[in-house]
Structure 1
Amino acid sequence: MATAHIPFRRKLPWRQALCLVPLVAVGLWVVWHRALIADGARRLLTADRYWLLVAVAVTGLGWVAVSFARQGAVVERLPPFRLLAAQFAAGTANHLLPSGLGAGAVNLRFLRGCGLTAGRSSAALALYMLAEATGRVALLLALLAGFPHALRLGGLVDGGAGMRVAVTAGLIAVAVALTVLAVRPLRRLVRGFLGTALSDARSVHRRPARALALWGGSLAFPALQAAGLVAVSAALDLPVPMAHVAVAYLVASVLAAAIPAPGGIGSVDAALALALVTAGAPVGAATSAVLGFRIITVWLPLLPGALVLGALVRRKVV
C-alpha cells in the first residue's frame, strides 16, 4: 500500500523550533554579558532589600500599565490575561531586537490573532507609540518645571552634537517624505494607513474608558520605570534627590530612544549613568545604580519572558 507523500516542510516541527529561538537568544546574550551581570549582582547583595522589592513591584506594574495602554489603542475588547502575557513576552523580544521591533512584532501578531486586520493592527501600534512617547515627554517636562535644576543639561548634551543630531533627523525626515511623494505605491500605502489610523484614533477617543486606558497607561509606564530607578538608587544610598533621579531617567530614556540598540542595552545604560552623574551622583555609585536597575528590569525577567513567549508561539497566540 503506497504511503501518501508528505511535503518535507510539513514534516519539520517549525513551530516547536521557533519556541526555542527566544531561549537560545537569551542564553547567548547572558553568556556574552556574564561579567556585567555578575558585577551588578554582587553590588545588589549589599543593597537595601526592601527598596529592591519596591523596584521589582513597580517593574511588574509597568507591564500592567502597558497592557492598559495597548487595550486603549483599540476599540475591541482584548483578552486581558493573554494581553498581559503578551506584554511580558514582548519585553523579552524587545531586548533581543533593536528599536522596539521585538515588542512591535509580538503585539502585531497578538492583535492579528485577536481578529484585527493588518492595517488596524499597525494603526493601533502607531497610536500606542505616539501616546507613549507623548506621555514620556510630558512627564519629563512636568518634572523639569518643578525641579528646573535637577540636571545640568549642558553637560549631558553637547550643543554642537545636539545640533548635528537635529539636522540629521530633519534631513532623514525630508528624504523619507520626498520618497513617499515620488513613489506612487508608497503614496497610496501611506494614505491608506493614515486614513485607517485617524479613523481608529477617533473611534478610540469617542469612548472615555478607552481614551483613559490609552493615556493613563502611557503616562503610568514611564512613571513606573522612573520609580524603579528611584527605588534602586535608594537601595544603594545614591546621594541624589529622588525627583532628580526620576528626571535623569526620563532624560536618558528620551535621548536613547533614537539609538537602535536592542532594548536600549548600551545606549540607555550609558545615558542613564551620564544623567545620574550630571544630577550629582559619583561615577561609581551611578554605575552601580544603573546595573541594579537593568538587572531588575531586563535580566531577571529575560528567561521567564522567553518561556512565556515560547508558550504563546506554541499556542498560536502570537
Structure 2
Amino acid sequence: MHDNAPDKEDVAAGPRQARRSLRRRAPWLAGLLAGIAALAALILFITHAGDITTFARQAANAKAGPLFAAAAVQALPYLITAFVWFLFLRRIGTPLKFMSLVPLSFAKLFADQAIPSGGLSGAAFFLFALTQRGVPDKSAFRTFVFTTSAYFLAFLCAAIISLIALSLAEEAPPALSASVSAFAGFFVLLTVLAGLAILYKAPMPAFLAGRRFAQKAAEFLGAAVADIRHMPGLFAKLGMLLLASRVMDGLTVMLISEAIGAPVPLFTGFIAVATASIAATIGPVPMGLGTFEAGMIASLSVFGVSVEDALTMTLIYRGLTLWLPLLPGFAILQREFLRRAGATAEKTDPDQA
C-alpha cells in the first residue's frame, strides 16, 4: 500500500542537495552580483557626473555604418582563433576543415564566459568537440595546450605594450600604471617559470607515480610541452596571429568611437582593450563585469577621451564582443551536445541494422 510513498530520507535529501548546490554556486553568484552592482554603480556615477542627455543622445544617434563595420570586424578574432587551431591540427597530422572549427570558437566563448569554472568549462568543451570530430584524445590535448600557450604569449605582448603606453602617457594616474606594472611583472615571472618547465622536465611526485590517471595526464602534458619546445617557429607564428586579433579589438573600438562622433586612434583602442582585459583577469568577478568596464574607461580617459564618451564606447564594445556572441555560442554548444546524444542513441538502438 505504501510501496510508492517516498521515503523520509529521500524527501529530506532533496533540500539537502539543493542547499549543497547553492553553497557550491554561492561564491560565483556573489561575484556575479557584485560585478553587476559595480557596473550599475559605475554607470550611475558617470551619467550623474556628466550630462545624462549627452550619453543617451550618443547611444541613440550612433552612425549605423561604423557600427556595422565594427560588428563585421569582430568576426575576425573568431576566424583567427579557428585558423590557429586549423594550423596546429594540420601540423600534427590530424587536419580538420577550417569552417568546421569556426563555430567552436563561438561556443568556447560561451563555455568560458557563461559557465563559472575559471576557464575549465571552455577547455572541456573544446576537447570534447575535437574528439567528436575524430581527433584522438592526445592530439586534442596537445592542440589545446599549444594554442592556449600561444594565446598567453599574445596576452603578455599586449600587456607589455599597454604598460609602456600608459607609463608614457602624461595624464596616467600612478595607481593605474602601478597596477599594470605589477601585473606585467607577475605575468613575466610566470612566463619564465613556464619556460623553465618546458626546457627542463620535472619528475612526477612520488604519490602520483603509481596512479594510472596521473601517468596518462603526464604523457599528454609531456607531448604538449614537447610540441612547444620542438616547434618554436609555429608557436611564435600562432602567438602573432592571436596578437593580431587583439589589434582587431582595437579597430572595433576605433570604429565605435567614429560611430558616436568621438574618434580615437587605433592604438588607443588597442591599449584600452588590453588594459581592460588585464583588469578583468585580475578581478574575481565572472565575465569581468564591472572590472573590464572600469579598466577600459580609465584607459580611454588617460588618452583624453571624456568619461561620457568612454562609457558609451565601452558599453557598445561589450555588447558587440561579449553579449552578442553569447547567443550563437549557446546555440552551437547545444547543437554539439545534441549531436553527441543523437550519435549515442543510434549506437544503442537495437532496431538499427
Give TM-score, length-normalised by structure 2.
0.64
1:144 Cα deviation after fit: 6.6
C-alpha distance after superposition, 1:214-241 (max 9, x if no partner): 3353222222122212221222233644
With 136-145 and 221-230 compared, the bigger mean Cα shift is at: 136-145
Bigger RCO of structures 1 and 2 (CA < 8 A, at least 6 apart): 1
Match of 1:156 among 176, 193, 199: 176
How much identity, in percent, do the aligned residues show? 24
Distance 1:255-1:182 versus aligned 2 partners, 3 A rule: farther
Contact 2:111 2:125 (8 Å CA) reproduced: yes
2:254–2:264 CA contact under 8 A, matched in 1: no
Alignment of 1:8-23 (within 5 A): none
Does the C-alpha gap of structure 1 residues 160 and 82 become closer, same or farther in structure 2, counting only changes over 3 Å? closer
Q: CA deviation at 1:265?
A: 3.1
* 1:25 counterpart residue number: none
In structure 2, the CA distance between the partners of 1:48 and 1:145, relative to structure 1 (3 Å rule), is same
Matches within 5 A, 1:42-121: 43-74=58-89, 75=92, 76-98=94-116, 99-121=118-140
CA distance in 2, matches of 1:275, 1:72: 34
Q: Determine helix, strand or coil for the equivalent of 2:247.
A: helix
Q: Which residue of 2 aligns with 1:124?
A: 143
1:112 counterpart letter in structure 2: T
Match of residue 307 from structure 2: 283
- Indicate how the Cα distance of structure 1 residues 212 and 184 shifts in structure 2: closer, same or farther if over 3 A, else same: closer
Post-superposition offset of 1:146: 7.9
TM-superposed deviation, 1:104: 1.9
What corresponds to 1:196 in structure 2? 223
**How far 1:202 sits from its partner (Å)?**
5.6
TM-score by length of 1: 0.70
Structure 2 gaps of 5+ residues are 1-31, 48-54, 344-353
Instruction: Tell me which residue corresponds to 1:226.
Output: 250
What 5-or-longer segments of structure 1 have no aligned partner? Answer: 1-28
**Deviations, residues 93-147 of structure 1 (Å, cap 9, x unaligned):** 2220243334322211112223334343233212112111212332454577689
With over 3 angstroms needed to count, the CA separation of the structure-2 counterparts of 1:191 and 1:269, relative to structure 1, is same
Give the Cα separation in 1 of the matches to 2:57 and 2:125.
33
Kindly state the Cα deviation for residue 83 of structure 1 after the two structures are TM-superposed. Answer: 0.7
Q: Which residue identity lines up with residue 71 of structure 2 in the other structure?
A: V
Aligned to 2:156: 137
2: distance between equivalents of 1:260 and 1:68? 30
Inter-CA distance 271–145: structure 2 relative to 1 (3 Å threshold): closer
Code of the residue aligned with 1:200 in structure 2: it is: D
2:74 alignment partner, SS class: helix
Q: What whole-Å deviation, never above 9, does each CA across 1:7-26 have from its counterpart, x for those lacking one?
A: xxxxxxxxxxxxxxxxxxxx
Higher mean alpha-carbon deviation, 212-221 vs 290-299, is at 212-221
* Larger CA deviation: 40-49 vs 99-108: 40-49
Q: Secondary structure of the residue that 2:168 maps to in structure 1?
A: coil
CA contact (8 A) 1:69 1:213 kept: no
In the alignment, residue 152 of structure 1 is paired with which amino acid?
A: A
Deviations 1:56-89 (A, max 9, x none): 0111111101101122333221232221111122
8 A contact 1:95–1:102 mirrored in 2: no
Larger gyration radius, structure 1 or structure 2: 2
CA distance in 2, matches of 1:219, 1:274: 22
Conserved? CA contact 1:273–1:286, under 8 Å: yes
Matched, 1:294 2:318: yes
Partner Cα separation in structure 1 for residue 74 and residue 150 of structure 2: 20
Question: Aligned equivalents of 1:214 and 1:162: distance in 2?
Answer: 26
Residue 96 of structure 1 aligns with an amino acid whose one-letter code is A
Letter paired with 1:56: A
| 8 Å contact from structure 1 (residues 127, 201) kept in 2 | yes
Verify the 8 A CA contact 1:120 1:200 in the aligned structure 2.
no
- The one-letter amino acid paired with 2:59 is L
